[in-house]
Amino acid sequence: MRRSPKDTEDSARIIGRRALLLGGVQLAVAGTLIARMRFMQVDQADEFRLLADENRINIRLLPPARGLIYDRNGVTLAENEQNHRIVLVREDAGDVDDVLARIAPIIDLTDEDIAQLKEEIFRRSPFVPVTIADRLSWEQFSRVAVNAPALPGITPEVGFSRVYPLDKDFAHVVGYVGPVSDYDLTKGYLQDDNDPLLQIPRFQVGKTGVEAKLEHGLRGAAGTKRIEVNAVGRVMRELGREEGRKGDALQLTLDSMLQNYLQARLGEESASAVVVDVEHGDILAMASSPAFDPNKFVRGITVADYNALQDSEYRPLFAKSVQGAYPPGSTFKMITALAALDDGVITPDETITCNGFKEVADRKFHCWKRGGHGKVALNRSLMESCDVFYYDLAERVGIEKIAAMARKLGLGQRYELPQAVHSGLMPSRSWKTQNRGRDWVIGDTLNSAIGQGFVLASPLQLAIMTARLASGRTLLPRIVKTENGVEVPLPNMPPLDINPDHLNLVRKGMFDVVNGPRGTARGSRVAADGIRMAGKTGTSQVRNITNAERAQGITRNEDLPWNRRDHALFVNYAPYDAPKFACSVVVEHGGGGSQAAAPIARDIILQALYDGTPPLSAYPSSQRGRIRTQQEKLILRDPAEFGRESDRA
């Protein structure tokens, strides 16, 4: 069948369009191939020539800048400083012995240094950079850079190293960093961490404190750089880099000025102190004494310095404020009183006669006052710290209800903080059976009622207990205020499940401890109007007193070896009518709480209230001369270091 001229014309048009479309596609493909070939053969010719010539482009990790740490006012607690160092890559170095021999006179390496470096180099993969030396002077660094063409595998680098500008003040809280060790990677807290940065020799990771507990956020993420290496392993140039992510910036709740005062006021005592904001639960200061300079650990502490710290009986490396666990002594009596009031076994006006001891199960439990206190009601029992009163309460209320009240007030629990926190111990019948293999006896209850026996608490727990008593809320401690500028939300802190009237009775007793005519801490009262203080003394025994010693007269603390003396404790809050701050102080083997711990705690709470050195008018007139001398002798930092203009003198 013959096609019409019109059909032939239409068919020709369709074929023409298809031909044009196909030709266009072919032309586009050809153009793309030509452009790609030109890019690879012309624009990237040098790079691909190097890739073809024995893989001469290497990828290196770029350690990120570690996150900075600040106090609540923006004062820097941990920062980074430039660190000039040199690294060696074994696969690029060729003859390692020859390279080390050439570089040794340039940076003053000893034979011992070289032996240690060789051991480290051959323990690592051939492509892993090994730090040959760091913290080089500019002169040493320049000499290496000038001689780089003759040092295959050697690369001068400018990195960062950690520095703590306030040295001892935050040693136990912030902690310090150090080179990652095999123990950290195999048995320590980094054993499940696959970050390639940890394979870099001498890479710094957190070892203690916030630095360790928040290591992952502070570390950041690695970047990379591409470098050109010639045939003999010398670095010729950097081809490109991708910067990593710097570590998180942290702002802590602590106040640098107050922290500095705590460290200065504790001096060289083996002691600790904690200050808590009663409204939010923020930890404003947390000090352990004596302290140490964390910068020494970053730079490499000498054996002599480390042994001096390790061997000291005052344990300067130990964070006593959170890791210490002490019998709370009479600071525990508020708990026993509240348990008895809550259980209805006592009324506020009921009296108990104290003759100096209570006999239970053929055993005498003694009061600290040998002749006894006579007839004692609740308020006086706290004010004068009568032990027999609490023995009697304990016998009536029992250990389980005392333990339950203690837990309500924060004892016997581990708080979620970026610290190695001790949980303390609030014992019970089941605890003794499981851990000591013996039944609970009535004597255990009586000892627990006055904060002795098995009961243990950290200074942090005692400060939180006091803040809860003052506020009537279930306060929880917080130490990180913001992360990368974002506020860390406050936890829910509901009212305590304790009768408010009972809390008021205990608070009045604590007020009279400091301000009453026979209060055990009357010597440490505050004289300023409107900021009266409430508190409670505590003295915890660390040795058993035999009947023979009691008969002859108990040996005075000052006549005993230091490590056999009683611990001194004091807890307080102020102002009494509108609490702002709560504080706890523990002086190891300090003797009586009223003499050793209460004056320190009073000075600390005033320092917090006045946001600096309080006026002498805040102290009783009879003490002002001594306080003036004490203030003059304290070695405090210049307020300018904290960005503050107020005069502390």
Under 8 Å between Cβ of 539 and 329: yes
**Does the residue 558 lie in any domain?**
yes
Read off the tokens for 53. 């010539």
Domain of 416 in residue numbering reads as 256-642
Residue 163 has pLDDT above 90, yes or no: yes
179 and 206 co-located in one domain? yes
241-288: pLDDT as tens digits: 777 899 999 999 999 999 999 999 999 999 999 999 999 999 999 999
In a domain, 476, yes or no: yes
d(CA 604, CA 266): 10
pLDDT value at residue 112:
84
15 occurs within a structural domain: no
Lowest mean pLDDT among 40-54, 193-207, 321-335, 417-431: 40-54
**Residue 283 sits in the same domain as residue 235:** no
* Pure H helices in 124-267: 138-146, 182-186, 209-213, 215-219, 256-266
* One domain for residues 111 and 159: yes
Radius of gyration of the chain (CA): 35
pLDDT for residue 121: 81
CATH number of the domain bearing residue 117? 3.90.1310.10
Residue 270 lies in a domain: yes
So what's the pLDDT on residue 46? 60
Run of H or E including 134: none
Phi/psi of residue 76, nearest 5 degrees: -75, 125
344 and 329 assigned to the same domain: yes
Residues 6+ apart with CB under 8 A from 376: 351, 352, 353, 354, 384, 386, 388, 389
Give yes or no: residues 71 and 192 share one domain.
yes
Are 471 and 589 found together in one domain?
yes
Quick one: pLDDT band at residue 144, thresholds 50, 70, 90? confident
Asked if residue 504 is part of any domain, the answer here is yes
Q: DSSP characters for 488-514?
A: PPPPP-PBPSS-HHHHHHHHHHHHHHH
| Residue 257 near residue 275, CB atoms below 8 Å | no
Of 252, 286, 309, which closes a domain?
Answer: 252
Residues 200, 335, single domain; the answer is: no
In this structure, are 537 and 617 located in the same domain?
yes
Q: How confident is the model at residue 41 (pLDDT cuts 50, 70, 90)?
A: low
Q: Give yes or no: residues 261 and 200 share one domain.
A: no
Whether 313 and 168 map to the same domain: the answer is no
Our count of domains for the chain comes to 2
339/393 same-domain check = yes
* Single-letter amino acid code for the residue at 87: V
48: in domain:
no
**345 lies in the same domain as 392:** yes
Whether 526 and 533 have beta carbons less than 8 Å apart is answered as: yes
pLDDT digits (tens, 9 = 90+) for 359-401: 998 899 999 998 999 999 999 999 999 999 999 999 999 999 9
In a domain, 649, yes or no: no
Question: What is the full DSSP assignment across 281-341?
Answer: -BEEEEEEES---THHHHH---HHHHHHHHH-TT-TTS-HHHH--B--GGGGHHHHHHHHH
| The domain boundary residue, chosen from 224, 252, 280 | 252
* Catalytic positions, written as ranges: 330
Does 32 map to a domain?
no
**For 542-573, what is each residue's pLDDT tens digit?**
777 766 666 667 778 787 888 889 999 999 99
pLDDT at residue 231, rounded to an integer? 59
Instruction: List the CATH number of the domain containing 407.
Output: 3.40.710.10
- Distance, in Å, from the CA atom of 275 to the CA atom of 463, rounded to the nearest integer, reads 7
Alpha-carbon distance of 408 to 499, in angstroms, equals 12
Last residue of a domain, one of 209, 234, 252: 252
